[in-house]
Chain A
Amino acid sequence: MTAPTHDPLTLSLSVNGETHDVRVPARKLLSDVLRDDLGLTGTHVGCEHGVCGACTVLIDGRPARACLTFAAQMEGHEVTTVEATGRPDALSALQQALHEEHGLQCGFCTPGIVVTFEHYLRENPDPTAEEVRDVLSGNLCRCTGYQNIVAAVLKAAARMRGEAA
């Protein structure tokens, strides 16, 4: 019998404001293309079934699971990954607050949380702790018990509003 062939498609992807041309099979997940073909390894894969949130990226500015998306669906859309937010020597307000509040341990869940809340805080600059917990429930963290992540998001929100925190 003939084995299935997976002829690559040529895609033009817009990621973090840059255009990349890649040749990948139609079935290749966005998470794998970001990581393997574009070298953007900050997007993590924790479950590949849409539960853990480690692979969260922004698609046209909205949070989405990269593990539930084919790269081939992304032509004509803008993808934003954690790499677009801060650098080790120039952290964003949220990243800085996560550092100060000890909001990460192994850090595997962290990029997904950063991407989720960079977006959330833009639309909701003054959330309550309960609201932060509700939104955070889409991101699994096995290490921290979440309390410090909640504190960090509230601290970052206050700073982004220009309040001392």
Chain B
Amino acid sequence: MSGDFTEIGRALPRKEDRRLVSGRGRYLDDLAFPGALHVSFVRSPHAHARILDIDSAEAAEMPGVVGIFTGRDLDQMTTRLRLAPPIEGLQPTELTTLPIDKVRFHGDPVVCVVATDRYLAEDAAECVSVEYDQLPAVTSITEAFAPDAALVDDSLTSNMVSHQSLCVGDPAARRAEAHRVVEARFSLHRHTHVPLETRGCVADWDDGRAHLNMHIGNQVPHPLRSQLAARLGLSESQVTVMSPDVGGAFGQKIALYREELTVAALSRHLRRPVRWREDRMENLMSAAHAREYECRTRASVSETGRILGLELEIDEDFGGYCFYPANYMARVIALIMTGPYRIQDYAYEVRVALTNKCGAGPMRAPMAITSWVMEGTIDAIARDLGLDPVEVRRINALGPEDLPYKMPTGELLEDVSPRETLEIAVDVIDVAAFRARQAQARAEGRYLGLGLCTVIESTTYGSEFYKSAGIPGSGHESAWVRIEPSGAVNASVGLMGTGQGYESPLSQAVAEGLGVRSEDVTVHMGNTDIAPYGMGSRGGRGATAGGGTLYLCALKARERVLAIAASMLDLNDAGGLRMRAGQIERMIGDDWQGTGLALVDIARRAYLDPLALPEGIAPGLDFSHSYDPPAMTYSNSTHACEVEVDPQTGAITIDRYLVAEDSGTVLNPIVVRGQQQGAIAMGLSGALLEQVIYDGTGQNLSATLADYLVASPNELPKFEILHHNTPNRRTPAGIKGMAEGGVMGAIGVLANAVSDALAPRGVTIERLPLTPQSIRALLREAAPSSTKRTQP
């Protein structure tokens, strides 16, 4: 199938690069707005407190200050965010644009200071005094669920904002008949996204037209516009969202944040452009956090390690506010947990806690913990039964004969290859040779470990998925393709890239469908007046939903172009015609031969001589198309890595890292490889170093990049990537999508490799991150007396 493509699959370097590499990109802060005002937010120093009084008299008199606004002021200018989707077990929530009565986390925005200059706005913000009455802070899931816990959200009946469960088959019966019941625990820590460009926006209210121009780096321009319009009481015709070049997002730039809505409301109120750029401390404390989960599994297994039934409990720490329905991320984890394995008897329980921390949101692979939990459970089974972990994987893995496979949750796996990627990874990393090296090293007192982790990555969520989840919404995408009178090809789609490099691969999808060179296509994204309403960029939907829709739209355009060409060549129909690189070719005998006609000739006829068009063909060459992908598309991969752990220092060295990947038809292998490397890096960085730390009173202790550590090139290995791509038969061109699986695999494979390395010391990794301190602590706890140094 993919062998027939001429543009899809080309290793075309990215179109964005020239401007970005030479410092000529245009990111938000590079846009000049003469006379723009700047804002600075006064933020809560407490995790949980009543706001008693706000005194801004002194600040208001300071140089450059234009206005100072509180939650009460903003409540007059905006509507509240009410989240109440009809989902069983989910408590409805409502929040104001800025807090009015109480703050819910350290860093919560309380007051907005507007001044003529950022420096002056910060000076004045320091002089606003807010009187608080501190309340007990809820800083963990356990505290949140305690019977006498303080309420994070006073309008709820408890801190358990969401609670769902499901039972399929008969896991209790499987437990009763099992040879063994193996339990395992997994605790993932709080991460944050750290896009190198922090959040920010410029709201430019056009008072004459009563129109808001909102410049903001955002992944989902149209849904953001809908939100902005609704919360400001404007029609969607009165708001334009424009996303310039974006310095990374990773899920952090989806929601309409309270600061951004404040800036927009104040631009309208003050009738001036108003801009905001958060600093790094605000970004680390107050933007969005992610991934804080406690998971427990109970696997009922046979003597050979076959999994008969699986039970899963997930608790999530969601922080202080719901910018997304609280079951949004954890639900997907529970839904796809069984992933690459044949399991039919399955039960889950998911509980989500509100706490006095920054609100949680999706972060590149919102379901990241899934693969660690499943693959860590497999390793626990192997340990418990004394079996080879590779064999336990083999005996449970889905093979070609099992497909299509309906998971116990109803999710359908088609055209995936988990057993194949497992075998490739096992073969290439050469498990047998590693075991020999490991035995030798152990004899010398060194600790080598090998991990494996197979990933089933949910990529594209179709409308059917949202419907079955009970979330009002769509998974479709829309595109237009326009051939201009000169023959130039413009196209647009509702996605917005935030660094992935969409311009080349999406041009390739258009070029393939139409029959031109990718270099001759320009794809316009990020402006809601130009792009069709689309659902934007999230998950791994860019290629299937975005690329797929553009490809289908371009096919429509090609059909029209060839019909016009046929009439210009005096043929009855376009059957024997095709277009390649913008040239019309005709099949003569067994050969494609040039006709002398090119796209530019067709365009001229369509625009400048339309009366000569065949009957029934309208002038112009303007096409649009919408496409709704299947309920879900899946990619898969198997990660393998070798580590060495130094028991003296607790340091982990990654000696080798490889991944065997199946991401279907690849639009552009350069961009896909970059996404794989970047995703693995993000997973490893999170598993090794990153951690948002709150103390027992809810103070955030990780608010600089010297405290919240992100991996440098010295901590990361070279990645070996092996391809085993099988197209999806149900999507345009066989595209599957990717970009998050690397995170899922990296977290799981690293934890499993370190467990393997430290097995002789009786250590199993149940908690991340694997900092040197945490490894040392585990070694001390595992063998308290034998490892104690004795003084000579």
Residues of A within 8 A of B (CB): 1, 3-6, 25, 27-28, 35, 39-49, 51-52, 54, 81-83, 85-89, 91, 95, 98-100, 102, 104-111, 114, 132-134, 136-137, 140-150
Would you call B196 and A41 a contact (CB within 8 A)? no
Stretch at the interface among B366-374, B485-493, B496-504: B496-504
Instruction: Report A-chain residues with C-beta under 8 Å of the C-beta of B29.
Output: 35, 41, 45
Instruction: Report A-chain residues with C-beta under 8 Å of the C-beta of B194.
Output: 142
Bin chain B's interface residue count: 35 or more
A-B contact pairs, 18 of them (CB 8 A): A41-B23, A45-B29, A46-B247, A48-B279, A49-B705, A52-B196, A52-B280, A81-B23, A99-B18, A102-B673, A105-B500, A106-B245, A106-B498, A114-B23, A143-B196, A143-B499, A144-B677, A148-B674
Residues of B within 8 A of A (CB): 13-14, 16-27, 29-30, 32, 58, 61-63, 119, 123, 194-198, 245-248, 250, 279-280, 498-501, 670-671, 673-674, 677-678, 680-682, 704-706, 710, 712-714, 716, 718-719
Nearest chain A CB to B712's CB is how many angstroms away? 4
Identity of the chain A residue whose Cβ is nearest the Cβ of B30 in the assembled complex: A41
Would you call A144 and B681 a contact (CB within 8 A)? yes
Would you call B17 and A98 a contact (CB within 8 A)? yes
In the complex, A21 Cα to B197 Cα: how many Å? 29
In the complex, A102 Cα to B61 Cα: how many Å? 51
Instruction: Report A-chain residues with C-beta under 8 Å of the C-beta of B13.
Output: 99-100, 102
In the complex, A109 Cα to B20 Cα: how many Å? 10
Residue among A52, A89, A147, A150 with the highest chain B CB neighbour number at 10 A: A147
Q: Which 8 A-B pairs have the closest CB atoms?
A: A42-B23, A106-B499, A107-B20, A108-B247, A145-B681, A82-B23, A41-B30, A51-B705
Known: A86-B22, A143-B678. A52 touches B705 (CB 8 A): yes
Identity of the chain A residue whose Cβ is nearest the Cβ of B497 in the assembled complex: A106
Identity of the chain B residue whose Cβ is nearest the Cβ of A133 in the assembled complex: B713
Nearest chain A CB to B248's CB is how many angstroms away? 4
Would you call A91 and B22 a contact (CB within 8 A)? yes
Partner of A87, one of B22, B63, B250: B22
Identity of the chain B residue whose Cβ is nearest the Cβ of A149 in the assembled complex: B713
Would you call A99 and B17 a contact (CB within 8 A)? yes
Partner of A146, one of B22, B670, B713: B713
Identity of the chain B residue whose Cβ is nearest the Cβ of A98 in the assembled complex: B21
Partner of B195, one of A87, A100, A106: A106
A44-B197, A95-B22, A98-B21 known; 14 other A-B pairs, CB under 8 Å?
Answer: A27-B119, A35-B29, A46-B247, A87-B24, A104-B21, A106-B195, A106-B245, A106-B247, A107-B25, A107-B247, A114-B21, A140-B712, A142-B710, A145-B719
Partner of A42, one of B24, B279, B280: B24
In the complex, A45 Cα to B32 Cα: how many Å? 16
Would you call B677 and A3 a contact (CB within 8 A)? no
In the complex, A48 Cα to B246 Cα: how many Å? 18
Instruction: Report A-chain residues with C-beta under 8 Å of the C-beta of B706.
Output: 49, 51
Would you call A141 and B718 a contact (CB within 8 A)? no
Identity of the chain B residue whose Cβ is nearest the Cβ of A96 in the assembled complex: B21
In the complex, A146 Cα to B247 Cα: how many Å? 16
In the complex, A4 Cα to B61 Cα: how many Å? 11
Would you call A146 and B500 a contact (CB within 8 A)? no
Instruction: Report A-chain residues with C-beta under 8 Å of the C-beta of B61.
Output: 3
Residue among A3, A44, A133, A148 with the highest chain B CB neighbour number at 10 A: A3
Nearest chain B CB to A37's CB is how many angstroms away? 11
Nearest chain B CB to A102's CB is how many angstroms away? 5
Partner of B280, one of A49, A106, A144, A146: A49
Instruction: Report B-chain residues with C-beta under 8 Å of the C-beta of A49.
Output: 280, 704-706
Instruction: Report B-chain residues with C-beta under 8 Å of the C-beta of A145.
Output: 677-678, 680-682, 716, 719
In the complex, A136 Cα to B711 Cα: how many Å? 11
Nearest chain A CB to B721's CB is how many angstroms away? 10
Would you call B197 and A46 a contact (CB within 8 A)? yes
Identity of the chain B residue whose Cβ is nearest the Cβ of A83 in the assembled complex: B23
Nearest chain A CB to B187's CB is how many angstroms away? 24
